[in-house]
Structure 1
Amino acid sequence: MSDSQRFPVAAHALAYMAHKGAFSPAQAAPSALLAASVPTNPVVVRRVTALLAKAGLIATRPGATGGSWLLRQPEDIRLDEVLKAVNGCAHIGSPPAGAKGCPISEHIPRQVGKALTAADEAATEALSKITIADLLDENPVSLAAYTPHASCPVAA
């Protein structure tokens, strides 16, 4: 699974568990059910849920009767925590190494690296204001000023 897909899959899975009331082992959401909702392969979901469990956001139980459930309420899970849990960042690229001996190549990669750090910090700050509960709300205050990005598919 690409790094760029871990965060959206994680946010979707957490929102699905919240929607279905998966707050205990008895209500655990199986990876096949989560995968059908995303839609993706159950293996992808299991990899993501393992990261979310390691971060303490969910618990999981393996096996035929297994699944995942939330350990916290959806309004208490911020998206910056989700991003961190899946080892993600707002990765918009990386600077090329540059050519040896070129004064621009020796300077620009460092400065572009700093600009990328600034973008990552801004994304983390924005995500810290959005919760899993907000994703389930029709028009949450935290997202009211935004429209879906033009490159993102939007369900009708």
Structure 2
Amino acid sequence: MSDSQRFPVAAHALAYLAHKGAYDAAHAAPSAVLAASVPTNPVVIRRVTALLAKAGLIATRPGASGGSWLLKRPEDIGLDTVLKAVNGCAHLGSPPLGAKGCPVGEHIPRQVGKVLTLADKAASDALSRITIADLLAERSEALDGLEPHAACSEAIRAAGSVAA
């Protein structure tokens, strides 16, 4: 799974667990069920849930009767925390290596690195105002007035055709 997919898959999985009321082991959602909701492979879900468990957002139990459940209420899980849990960032790329001996090549990587830090901070600040509960809400002040990102249009069309 690409780095750019970990965050959306993690947010989806957490929202699914909240929607299903998975707050203890008795109500755990198996990785195959979470995978069917995304949709993705259960292995992808297990990789993401391992990161979420390491961050203390969920607990997991392996095996045929295993699954995942939330350790926090959805209104207490900020999306900035989810992004950090899956080692995510604003995904604007990496600074170029730059050519030794070139005054621009030696300078630009450091400067671009600073810009990437700024973008990550801006993304984290924006995501800190949105929770898993906001994702599940029919209307959320945190999301009012926002439109889906242009890159998401294909997924939104596909979801609309499934729902229809």
**Do the two structures share a fold, i.e. TM-score over 0.5?**
yes
Partner in structure 1 of residue 120 of structure 2: 120
Following TM superposition, the consecutive aligned residue runs of length 4 or more in structure 1 with deviations greater than 2 angstroms are: none
Partner in structure 2 of residue 17 of structure 1: 17
- Which AA in structure 1 matches 2:10? A
How far residue 54 of structure 1 moved from its aligned partner, in angstroms, is 0.9
CA deviation vs aligned residue, 1:58-109 (integer Å, no higher than 9, x gap): 0111110110000111000000111111111112111111112111111111
2:69 alignment partner, SS class: strand
How far residue 124 of structure 1 moved from its aligned partner, in angstroms, is 0.4
- State TM-score, norm by structure 2: 0.92
Q: What is the rounded CA distance, in whole Å, between the counterparts of 1:58 and 1:95 in structure 2?
A: 34
Q: What is the rounded CA distance, in whole Å, between the counterparts of 2:134 and 2:93 in structure 1?
A: 28
Partner in structure 2 of residue 150 of structure 1: 150
- Which AA in structure 1 matches 2:132? I
- Which AA in structure 2 matches 1:26? A
Partner in structure 2 of residue 32 of structure 1: 32
Q: What is the rounded CA distance, in whole Å, between the counterparts of 1:77 and 1:95 in structure 2?
A: 31
CA deviation vs aligned residue, 1:7-34 (integer Å, no higher than 9, x gap): 1110000000000010111110000000
* Aligned residue pairs, count: 156
CA RMSD of aligned residues (A): 0.8
1:94 alignment partner, SS class: coil
CA deviation vs aligned residue, 1:37-56 (integer Å, no higher than 9, x gap): 00000011011111111111
Q: What is the rounded CA distance, in whole Å, between the counterparts of 1:31 and 1:79 in structure 2?
A: 21
| Percent identity over paired residues | 78
Partner in structure 1 of residue 70 of structure 2: 70
Partner in structure 2 of residue 58 of structure 1: 58
Of 60-69 and 95-104, more deviation after overlay is shown by: 95-104
1:17 alignment partner, SS class: helix
Partner in structure 1 of residue 101 of structure 2: 101
Q: What is the rounded CA distance, in whole Å, between the counterparts of 1:37 and 1:95 in structure 2?
A: 35
Unmatched 5+ stretches in structure 2: none
1:69 alignment partner, SS class: strand
Partner in structure 1 of residue 111 of structure 2: 111
- Which AA in structure 1 matches 2:120? D
Q: What is the rounded CA distance, in whole Å, between the counterparts of 1:76 and 1:25 in structure 2?
A: 19
Unmatched 5+ stretches in structure 1: none
Q: What is the rounded CA distance, in whole Å, between the counterparts of 2:39 and 2:33 in structure 1?
A: 9
- Which AA in structure 2 matches 1:93? G
